[in-house]
Chains A and B, each alone.
Chain A
């Protein structure tokens, strides 16, 4: 079965330090990958996507993600964390077996401490 895993329920980072939120996937065929962010009491907002091309994808709010085909990973990164980056982050992949609907990870809570 196709799936997405976010192995960390929570990630704690000090402000100014680099951050990484991990995502691994399992799909048949080409992966189409997305990251979304959810702030409290709000809907999800699109951050970035990988469809094809460069393995390093740049997105909103200074975030980037690295696609690694051999490790089937799509980790979200930012060089210098801000307190305002604290939120819930979701990774998602298109399900090539189910009309390309999105399969979602369980989410990772990112806490940036001042």
Chain B
């Protein structure tokens, strides 16, 4: 089954404790992206990757890191999480091209205490 898989789905942690949210897709998509969803703000892009070893900042990259060492994986790293990073996070992937729709994972709900 074609899918984008995020782990964990839920995480409660404390300020300053490094964490990684994994994202993997099995559709051979070149493009991958991370978003955060907050009530009333829609989706805001954190980072995106047009292909392996190519990453770019989105609208809200501060406090996050990413890497794209393999085509299928695009982990999101919070080196020193803070409470304002409490949010619902989505990973998405697609083929490149302006007409290509994105496929989303089911989300990761992070709570930073």
What is the interface of chain A, defined by CB distance below 8 A to chain B? 9, 32, 34, 36, 41-46, 49, 51, 90, 92, 94, 99-102, 104-107
Interface Cβ pair total, 8 Å cutoff:
52
> What are the residues of chain A within 8 A of B12 when measuring CB–CB?
none
Bound CA span A102–B45, Å:
8
Which secondary structure characterizes the binding site on chain B? strand
Nearest chain B CB to A87 CB, angstrom units? 14
Question: A49 and B107: CB pair below 8 A?
Answer: no
Q: For A52, give the chain B residue with the smallest CB separation.
A: B99
Q: How many residues of B contact A (CB 8 A)?
A: 24
Q: For B35, give the chain A residue with the smallest CB separation.
A: A104
Question: B107 and A90: CB pair below 8 A?
Answer: no
Question: B107 and A32: CB pair below 8 A?
Answer: no
Could you list 18 examples of A-B contacts with CB < 8 Å? A9-B40, A34-B101, A41-B106, A42-B107, A43-B4, A43-B92, A44-B90, A44-B92, A44-B102, A44-B104, A45-B104, A51-B99, A90-B42, A94-B98, A100-B98, A101-B58, A102-B43, A102-B45
